[in-house]
Amino acid sequence: MQKAVPPVLASAPERARAVQAVLDAHGPEMDRRRELNPEVVDALAEQDLLRMLLPKSMGGQETPLVDYCKACEAVAWGDASTGWFVNQSNVSMASSAAAMPHDTAAAMFQGPYAGLAWGAVHSNSKAIRVEGGYRLTGTWSFASGGRHTKWLGAHSAVQNPDGTPHIRYGRPDLRSFLFLRSEAKIIDDWHVLGLRGTGSDSYSVEDLFVPDDRAPARDVADERCEHGAIYPIGSTLLYACGFCSVTLGLARRMLETYIELARGRHSRSSTTAMAKNNAVQREIAILEARLSAARAFLHEVAGAAYDASARGALDLDLRMRLRLATTWGMNEATEVSIACYRGAGTAAILDKAPFERRFRDAMSASQHLQAMWPMAEMVGRHLIGTENVVQFV
């Protein structure tokens, strides 16, 4: 039974910090269960952390982007899988709602337990245009948090009944299709290295009818119904900001844990205590600088992008800069996490120690599309002014 939730009063980062103790306590069990514990889902709802980006007109908060980044970071400090789910669901739900008929979206995403999960885009699905909607068939993977949401979604290019591509706004029509989780076949295949608590199952539907009002073209300006500053930024860069913040929060927790270990440990491989070892002292200072710099870069550009979007002036140069800040931040955070794990020595490999699970989470997060170095190569081509394929911005 879902609990009643009081009105939101505190800021998003403050509310995120309020759930850290609960996440910390349940993290190991969620890793074993491969899903969030009910107590964690309740805590997220009680602090209304699943509607941070939802339009205010639908009961959401339209949280400014830097505050949203700080909130995702704070959640991930407590548990990375929960932070991953919080970002995935917030961006998916808000970007969908902003491109859907208001009444439909408001009814679907009502209440603090609202959520939406879906898998990655691919080219093997089929959505056939029919009267009043679409007939959808396909299988998708990586529905992070889908065990805790009423709604699932899927992305697909649209076909006409004769099999030809459906063209809208002068280009192939790519849409997101939203349906009840109960309408899909869930495939329990989430057996992975890290981020296990996300429960990112695969799922499939066969010839499922999805009505027009639940099939938004999320990042198409012609269909955007909400005009707050957050929505023109687009789902890809919003995901990037949140996932980067998750890796930063995870690395921050790893670094704090490493520092605490260094205060009281004497490595057998060294003649001096860690706290008095010049190499350890230097490494910790450098790791602090790298992590703080990556975080500052993200927040500087996220704030500039949000302000520009509010003025209707978010251009490609700034989008590219945000793309670079998020990709760079995820990779810097990963390197900090690796260094902390290595620096902790044999203490890091124990299940009872606070390193092992978070190291696995960091390694899994680092494999996401948003962290891939070809993103930076694209930004480099843009800065040089050479021939470029612009994507993911």
What residue ranges do the domains of the chain occupy?
Answer: 12-108, 116-223, 234-384
Domain 234-384 belongs in CATH node 1.20.140.10? yes
Question: What is the predicted pLDDT for the residue at 265?
Answer: 79
Instruction: Tell me the CATH number for domain 12-108.
Output: 1.10.540.10
Question: What is the predicted pLDDT for the residue at 351?
Answer: 85
Rounded (10°) angle between helices 38-46 and 20-33: 150
CA angle 144, 371, 173 (to 5 degrees): 65
Question: What is the predicted pLDDT for the residue at 2?
Answer: 61
Question: What is the predicted pLDDT for the residue at 104?
Answer: 97
pLDDT at 8 over 90: no
> Which residue in 277, 247, 275 sits closest to 261, CA to CA?
275
Question: What is the predicted pLDDT for the residue at 302?
Answer: 98
Distance of alpha carbon 194 from alpha carbon 269, whole angstroms: 29
Question: What is the predicted pLDDT for the residue at 1?
Answer: 54
Chain segment 41-95, per-residue pLDDT in tens: 999 999 999 999 999 999 999 999 999 999 999 999 999 999 999 999 999 999 9
Chain segment 220-237, per-residue pLDDT in tens: 999 999 999 999 999 999
pLDDT at 245 over 70: yes
HSE at residue 166, side-chain half, CA atoms within 13 A, is 18
pLDDT at 267 over 80: no
**For range 120-143, the mean pLDDT:** 95
The pLDDT confidence band at residue 7, using thresholds 50, 70 and 90, is: low
pLDDT at 288 over 60: yes
Give Cα 237 distance to the centre of its chain: 10
Question: What is the predicted pLDDT for the residue at 3?
Answer: 60
Question: What is the predicted pLDDT for the residue at 246?
Answer: 98
Instruction: Tell me the CATH number for domain 116-223.
Output: 2.40.110.10
Q: Are 209 and 134 in contact, with CB atoms under 8 Å apart? A: yes
Distance of alpha carbon 295 from alpha carbon 328, whole angstroms: 10
Of 6-15, 240-249, 358-367, least confident by mean pLDDT is 6-15
Residue 99 token pair: 């491109």
**For range 196-224, the mean pLDDT:** 96
The pLDDT confidence band at residue 5, using thresholds 50, 70 and 90, is: low
Calculate the average pLDDT of the chain.
Answer: 95
The pLDDT confidence band at residue 368, using thresholds 50, 70 and 90, is: very high
Percent of all residues in the chain with a pLDDT value above 70, rounded to a whole number: 96
Question: What is the predicted pLDDT for the residue at 123?
Answer: 87
**For range 360-384, the mean pLDDT:** 97
Relative to beta strand 126-130, strand 151-159 is parallel
**For range 261-275, the mean pLDDT:** 80
